[in-house]
């Protein structure tokens, strides 16, 4: 039964007395309440009678005991803190962190323009953090089993992410679960009854969620979905599980986007996606549908969104964010259509190919850029920053924020040392040696 305002609750292990303040929301499994303890506010998910099973109680106790994955990746999960009961009600629930939604938004609020639309930088941050957290969860031996936009909130300005509804997390391919996912995010093999939820099916759900974030549309909502007069369970099973076809599949055109204004935004947002992002989505919803082992991994998504964020710069005409791309001779802004002037770029040669970073004023260079295989604790260390020239408007330099002296070779053949704290101008063709790695500054519009 529902909880009442002022009803008393108790956390099982912590022995924490709680008082119900108000109802916050409701889902298929239960209701969420704001509860107050002596030292702060919490959220409590209280299960509906049919969901308050012994298996679910055991699952919550297991999650409370094991805790979330370690580090920043784990802190993004709104993890169960304790089992909660009440003398005045049958059943149980669990305690979790209370999230102030003044800062955070869900995808529906963004679509409705209730909350700000994240820019490309924030979208890359949201996407990276999602992939990073689910990777940590999977590496811990668990699967999430219900990845969807309904379990995600994010800061539209910073890209910081929180992931809720973690009570269905379980040991990969072992734990029993009452929830198998949200149908529009479920892997086709689950819908067909060929497989149980697993880390592999999580990868499909993650790809659907990322596509929603970038294109504001479901990857299978095209002519096939449009042609159904009744969008019922059999129709959804057909589109999501029995015959899923990506709306941008270059070979199978059966599910192209209809010529309808309601579908226009997906086409528009797909158009400004960089080729590298399109390639991963084409694989996720092409070969990945037929072969779960070929799905895009969390690590691949991580690398993509880190690289895309490094390639963001602003249009000088309208200030809209754009990506460094080399798809044509005359790049133009996706927003205003005017020709783009690329900023200087830092070019780093890696075994995987050339890695480029847009050198905007304020851009920071991390250890991960120069030495991607350095110890994990060092990867986030800032070693350089692009700063404006103190006397020449519009000019900039790259300042050495490391403890090591760099070597700089200029296009005219001269060389100099760049001491810690000093800067070197962003001249085209300048070669820097940072931590033993040679990198170059480029000003042209062509990919080296």
- H or E element that contains 19: strand 17-26
Domain with CATH 2.60.200.20 in the chain: 342-442
Q: Return d(Cα 133, Cα 135) in angstroms, integer.
A: 5
107-303 fold: Transferase(Phosphotransferase); domain 1 (1.10.510)
The dihedral over CA atoms of 392, 395, 401, 405, expressed in degrees to the nearest 10, equals -90
- The separation between the first and the last C-alpha atoms of the chain, rounded to the nearest angstrom, is 65
pLDDT at 314: 94
Of 335, 330, 409, 402, nearest to 370 by C-alpha is: 402
CATH class of the 342-442 domain in this structure: mainly beta
Domain with CATH 1.10.510.10 in the chain: 107-303
Taking CB atoms within 8 Å and a gap of at least 24, the contacts of 186-195 are: 186/240, 186/241, 187/292, 188/240, 188/241, 188/242, 188/244, 188/289, 189/241, 189/292, 190/241, 191/237, 191/240, 191/241, 191/242, 192/241, 192/242, 195/292
pLDDT at 448: 35
pLDDT at 446: 46
12-51 pLDDT, tens digit per residue, is 999 899 999 999 998 888 999 999 998 899 999 999 999 9
What the block records as the tokens of 255 is: 């599910």
Q: Return d(Cα 95, Cα 60) in angstroms, integer.
A: 10
Of 441, 331, 304, nearest to 386 by C-alpha is: 441
Cβ-count burial of 15 within 10 angstroms (0-12 exposed, 13-18 middle, 19+ buried)? exposed
What are the beta bridge partners of residue 441? 346
pLDDT at 267: 96
Q: Give Cα separations from 371 to 84, 366, 401, 409, 439 (angstroms).
A: 47, 9, 16, 20, 11
pLDDT at 326: 58
CATH of domain 8-97: 3.30.200.20
The Cβ-side half-sphere exposure at 224, using a 13 Å CA radius, reads 24
Q: Return d(Cα 412, Cα 389) in angstroms, integer.
A: 21
Q: Check residue 429 and give left, alpha or beta (phi > 0: left; psi -120 to 50: alpha).
A: left
Regions of the chain where pLDDT drops below 70 = 175-180, 326-329, 444-448
Helix, strand, or coil here: 12?
coil
pLDDT at 327: 52
């Amino acid at each position: 039964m529902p909880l009442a305002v002022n009803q008393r609750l108790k956390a099982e292990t912590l022995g924490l007395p709680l008082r119900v303040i108000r109802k916050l929301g409701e889902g298929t499994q239960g209701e969420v309440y704001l509860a107050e303890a002596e030292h702060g506010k919490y959220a409590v998910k209280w299960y509906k009678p049919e969901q308050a099973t012994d298996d679910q109680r055991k699952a919550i106790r297991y999650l409370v005991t094991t805790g979330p994955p370690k580090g920043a990746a784990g802190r993004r999960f709104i993890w169960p803190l304790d089992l909660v009961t009440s003398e005045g009600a049958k059943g149980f629930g669990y305690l979790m962190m209370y999230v102030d939604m003044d800062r955070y938004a869900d995808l529906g609020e963004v679509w409705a323009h209730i909350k700000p639309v994240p820019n490309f930088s924030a979208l890359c941050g949201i996407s990276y953090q999602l992939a990073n957290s689910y990777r940590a969860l999977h590496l811990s031996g668990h699967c999430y089993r219900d990845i969807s936009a309904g379990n995600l909130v994010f800061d539209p300005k910073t890209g910081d992410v929180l992931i809720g509804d973690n009570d269905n997390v379980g040991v990969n391919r072992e734990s029993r679960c009452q929830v198998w996912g949200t149908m529009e995010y479920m892997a086709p093999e689950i819908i067909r009854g060929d497989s149980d939820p697993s880390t592999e099916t999580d990868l499909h759900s993650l790809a659907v969620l990322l596509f929603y974030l970038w294109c504001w549309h479901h990857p299978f909502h095209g002519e096939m979905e449009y042609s159904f007069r009744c969008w019922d369970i059999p129709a959804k099973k057909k589109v999501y599980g029995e015959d899923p076809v990506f709306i941008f599949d270059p070979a199978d055109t059966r599910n192209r986007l209809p010529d309808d204004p309601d579908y226009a935004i997906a086409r528009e947002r797909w158009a400004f996606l960089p080729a590298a992002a399109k390639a991963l989505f084409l694989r996720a919803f092409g070969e990945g549908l037929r072969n779960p082992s070929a799905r895009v991994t969390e690590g691949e998504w991580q690398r993509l969104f880190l690289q895309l964020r490094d390639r963001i710069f602003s249009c000088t005409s309208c200030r809209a964010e754009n990506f460094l791309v080399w798809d044509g001779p005359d790049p133009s802004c996706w927003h205003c259509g005017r020709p783009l002037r690329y900023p200087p770029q830092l070019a780093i040669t890696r075994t995987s190919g050339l890695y480029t970073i847009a050198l905007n004023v304020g851009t920071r260079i991390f250890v991960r850029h120069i030495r991607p295989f350095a110890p994990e604790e060092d990867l986030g260390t800032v070693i350089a920053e692009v700063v404006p020239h103190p006397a020449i408007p519009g000019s900039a330099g790259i300042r050495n924020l490391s403890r090591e002296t760099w070597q700089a070779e200029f296009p005219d053949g001269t060389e100099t040392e760049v001491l810690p704290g000093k800067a070197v101008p962003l001249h085209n063709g300048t070669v820097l040696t940072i931590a033993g790695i040679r990198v170059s500054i480029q000003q042209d519009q062509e990919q080296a």
